Amino acid sequence: MLKKFIFKLMIPIIYQLTNNIKYNEIINMLWNTDYAIFSILTLLKMQRYKKKSGHREKYFYALATKVEISKDRTIIVMVSADINDHNPSNKEYKNAIIKNANSFKTDIDSEDDIKQEKLKKAFVNITGYLIQKYRCVNITYIKFVSDIQILIT
């Protein structure tokens, strides 16, 4: 049986900020560098999601970069790689969209709740923000998912 993956672009959140929050403050808020930095352009980021009723809290590790594509536009992009964080799950992750992310391997001395598998490990193929400055500041959150499968026999 052959599995065919369909990649779906999701743009679930578009914010328009008109108050006193400035363009650079928003970028700095989204680009939190309290993480392991591998180069000036790339960092390893861990993000946690609060649990929904009846579900375990989730987390993911991602390689992230920030690029100023013009004076008034900046993108922040994150992609998951296969990070050994000593979570007992033996599930190996392969990024189906950004193949180069699969070549990045590292070990992390993670927190106890991860080692004890109290949190569910998640992965993102690619996700990020487009921040644009006009008269106001627009923030577009973009994510690609590949967990939609069609089975072909």
Q: What is the pLDDT of residue 2?
A: 41
List, in order of start, the domains of the chain with CATH numbers: 2-147 (3.30.530)
Q: What is the pLDDT of residue 13?
A: 62
Q: What is the pLDDT of residue 4?
A: 46
Half-sphere exposure of residue 76, counting CA atoms within 13 Å on the CB side? 20
- The 3-state DSSP class for residue 73 equals strand
Q: What is the pLDDT of residue 151?
A: 37
Residues of the chain with pLDDT under 70: 1-14, 18-20, 33-43, 51-52, 90, 145-153
At CB < 8 A and 24+ separation, what contacts does 36-42 make?
Answer: 38/63, 41/65, 41/66
State both tokens at 7.
Answer: 């990649």
Q: What is the pLDDT of residue 42?
A: 62
CA distance 34 to 44: 9
CA distance 60 to 54: 19
Q: What is the pTM of this model?
A: 0.69
Max intra-chain CA distance, the chain: 56
